[in-house]
Structure 1
Amino acid sequence: MTPEEVGRRVVALLAPVEATASVSDGRSHARATVDVPLSSWADALRAARDDAELACDFFDWLSAVDELAAGFDVVVHLWSTRHRHGVLLRTRVPRETPVVASVVDLYPGAAWHERETHEMFGIDFAGHHGLAPLLLPPEFEGHPLRKEFVLASRVAKPWPGAKEPGESEAGGGRRAVRPPGVPAPGEWGTTPTPAGAAGVGEGPRGGTPARPARERPARPAPGTRPARTPRAGAAGDDPAAGRGDDEGGTA
């Protein structure tokens, strides 16, 4: 079945419940995506598993997406080992009461994923009796994958890689890392050193080179040839000068 056919089949199985089918972007890896009401979450997974045309017998993964004021999207991916097609099922839970039915009784492999989603997003899965901490220590407070969760590193130290102006009190950005042997911006020509990039071996801001420029002799005019400087020990213009006694002897 094509992704479009899979989506239409899920919608037909859930009727008269209103569900919306679409296709996720991914070209050859595109998947049918069906948005279902919160109250029909478990029914949608059961239909995808038990229907002979869908036969999604393999539970792949489950997670969530923080949509801020709109709530959380809980997403599950199922796969059919017989027909070689998959489907993404998605439902939205309100932020004030983030509760959705557990599907562990349908897919036992969902237990680990529901525990992680509960821990990272604070979403409760009704009917799951083992929502104990999975990755974080028991004393940890908060849900790290919620968008309002403040990273401890941002509080302890100003973030140097601010994306928006004024986000970081420290200002500036991260210092660019140069490959070995590449001179700093202030070590050649008059290229100004960027703000916040001053360091060892770099010239001051404003284009002053860190190394003094060497003076080179002026080039001769085209068509002229500079006079050669006599070598040390040369004797006048006599081509025989400088020869030894053996060279000047009789033939």
Structure 2
Amino acid sequence: MTPEEVGQRLVALLAPVEATATVSGGQAHSRATVDVPAQGWRAALLAARDDAELACDYFDWLSAVDELADGFDVVAHLWSTRHRHGVLLRARIPRETPTVESVVDVFPGAAWHERETHEMFGIDFAGHADLRPLLLPPEFEGHPLRKEFVLASRVAKPWPGAKEPGESEAGGGRRPIRPPGVPAPGEWGTTPTPAGAGGVGEGPRGGVPARPARERPARPAGEGSAPTDGGTP
């Protein structure tokens, strides 16, 4: 079946539910994409698995996308090992009550994915018996993949380059980033050093002052000097 046929078949199976089908990607990478309401989430995965023409028996992955004021998209990808086609399922859930039915009883492999999505986005999967932390320590507060989550590193230290919305009034591009431990030009002195002039410099932008020339001790008279009488030393 083509991606278009896969999507149309699944929409027909979900006739009581207002589902829509599109195709994502292109050429060999195109996939049927079916959007279903939250209440039809579990029914959509069941239909994709149990229908003989679809036979999407392999659960690939499940995650979410933060759409800010529009809520969250819960996304799952299924694959048919018999017919060699896949389908991408999406369900939009509100931000105020981010809950959708668990599909662990349909695909047991979804248990790990639902735990991670619950932990990272704060989405509840009704019927999942074990939504304990998977990747973060139990004392961690917040959901780091939500777009409003502020990284602690940006609070402790200014972030180089582009800012997140609300972090700075000034937008714009990225500043050059030096490797850790490398000082800014001029921090080790005020005398610019041209590149390649005895020290480590950065040309006209300034840099590390050149090292002073090392003075060699004077040699005693006659030591190491060439003979003046034509004889051997």
Coarse TM-score class (shorter-chain normalised):
0.7 to 0.9
User: 1: distance between equivalents of 2:13 and 2:44?
Assistant: 8
Matching residue of 1:174: 176
User: 1: distance between equivalents of 2:137 and 2:24?
Assistant: 36
SS in 1 for 2:158: coil
Structure 1 residues 120-159: aligned runs within 5 Å: 120-159=120-159
Q: 1:18 Cα deviation (Å)?
A: 1.2
Q: 1:159 Cα deviation (Å)?
A: 1.0
* Unaligned runs of at least 5 residues, structure 1: 178-185, 189-198, 211-251
Distance 1:187 1:11, change over 3 A: same
Structure 1 residues 1-251: aligned runs within 5 Å: 1-162=1-162, 166=168, 173-175=175-177, 187=194, 200-204=201-205
- State which structure, 1 or 2, has the greater radius of gyration over its C-alpha atoms: 1
Q: TM-score when scaled to structure 2?
A: 0.74
Matching residue of 2:231: none
SS in 1 for 2:162: coil
Is residue 159–residue 168 contact of structure 1 (8 Å, CA) maintained in 2? no
* Unaligned runs of at least 5 residues, structure 2: 180-192, 210-233
Q: 1:201 Cα deviation (Å)?
A: 3.3
Write out per-residue CA displacement over residues 179-230 of structure 1, whole angstroms, 9 at most, x where no aligned residue: xxxxxxx958xxxxxxxxxx9333148xxxx9xxxxxxxxxxxxxxxxxxxx
Q: What residue identity is the alignment partner of 2:203?
A: E
Q: TM-score when scaled to structure 1?
A: 0.69
Is residue 72–residue 92 contact of structure 2 (8 Å, CA) maintained in 1? yes
Q: What residue identity is the alignment partner of 1:108?
A: P
User: 2: distance between equivalents of 1:152 and 1:46?
Assistant: 41
Matching residue of 1:243: none
Q: Please give the root-mean-square deviation of Cα atoms over the aligned residues, in Å.
A: 2.5
